[in-house]
Amino acid sequence: MAGLGETIGRLRKDGRLKPSRPGESGDAGMVEVRGFGSNPGALRMLAYVPQGCTTGAPLVVVLHGCTQRAGSHAAAAGWLTLADRLGFLVVAPEQDVQNNPNRCFNWFEAGDITRGAGEAASIYSMVQHMLRTQDGDPARVFVTGLSAGGAMAAVMLATYPELFSAGAVIAGLPYGVAQGMHEAFGAMQGGGSRSDRELVALAASAAPRPEQTPRLSVWHGGADHTVQSSNGVALARQWAGLHGLAAQPDEVEEQRGRMRSVWRGSDGDVLIEMNVLAGLGHGVPLATTGDDPLGVVAPFMLEANVSSSLEISRFWGIAPPAIADPGWNKTPAEDQLHAAERGAPLGQQVMASVAAHVPENIQQVIAKALGAAGLMR
């Protein structure tokens, strides 16, 4: 049986399949794959195999945000261009309006964020199908997403940690931060009720723990009023806990409005990074100008003079490192966390400021007092 790459090439050659430019159609030149396996979440699978893709290629799963289409999101964010350049496979699951009228992945519904069930299981099936039919490298599978897609990327990393080498979450939320839509809206505004310890426990119990926990890159706009940047802090701390690391980063560096915190393992390797971009709203950071433009500005695709997609690819090790040192300035380790948390409601800011300094039982007392005063939901 011909593989997906051969089929795509044949269809393009005889004119039945014509790639479109980003934004020209929802699929943006990606190919729908039917019959990929178990699909309890009723999702649609789109795939992209760059010409000349070789055996053992990495696989990147790209998850769109609310109101977006999978193909146009993957194209506008620069992932398809990077696939052509670097030779990796792309899978872009797409939500159906029958599941969610705004096309949001249901990152807050228990039936969709549990291992072996719902949307999480559908995405798992897509990955297995792509690896099997394209002979991809199972040791180099990655997942990224924006907003609801970012929260769903966190779901996949928590529920199938053995499947992914690393992931990236843009303007997303921690795994298990909300159950149901009401809690989801509260969490988006920085009003999540679960402590760092509870979030770590939820992620740790979501699946059997693998020998190696996936590495994580977190990106968030400092002026994101749709999903408060305090969620990026909570996600980074959740993942630090899974890796057995301290909540505070090992170092923080700043360069042209981008503040990057890193958590290192015992061998010195960076296991978690968090990037907060000053003044950026809700969307994927892009660099569409300059010597190496990448991506297309569109709704939720924001010019930021830095390509998150390229930087994430470098963090994952599937793109070569930057040639020149961008000139980072070291800053105190707490500065980025405080900068991100300033976008949160007052009660959340207070809790964030005391989290690293007081016991869990005292934190609970403070949280109850803040809630009684109407400063925290």
User: Which residues does the annotation mark as catalytic?
Assistant: 147
- In the sheet with 44-48, reading across from the earlier edge strand, the strands are 31-33, 44-48, 89-94, 59-63, 141-146, 166-170, 215-221, 270-277, 258-264, 251-255, 329-331
The string of DSSP letters for 117-154 reads SHHHHHHHHHHHHHHHHHT--TTSEEEEEETHHHHHHH
Name residues whose C-beta falls within 8 Å of residue 269's C-beta, 6 or more positions apart in sequence.
Answer: none
Helices and strands of the chain, counted as H and E runs: 12, 13
Burial class (CB in 10 A: 0-12, 13-18, 19+), 321: exposed
Q: Give me the count of residues in the chain.
A: 377
In the chain, DSSP assigns E strands to: 31-33, 44-48, 59-63, 89-94, 141-146, 166-170, 215-221, 251-255, 258-264, 270-277, 284-286, 301-303, 329-331
Here the tokens at position 156 are 């996949």
Q: Write the DSSP symbol of residue 107.
A: T
Here the tokens at position 243 are 């890796």
Here the tokens at position 107 are 């990152």
Measured CA to CA, the distance from residue 270 to residue 227 in angstroms comes to: 25
Q: Are 242 and 236 in contact (CB under 8 A)?
A: no
Measured CA to CA, the distance from residue 300 to residue 220 in angstroms comes to: 12
Burial class (CB in 10 A: 0-12, 13-18, 19+), 266: exposed
Measured CA to CA, the distance from residue 142 to residue 17 in angstroms comes to: 27
Q: Are 61 and 27 in contact (CB under 8 A)?
A: no
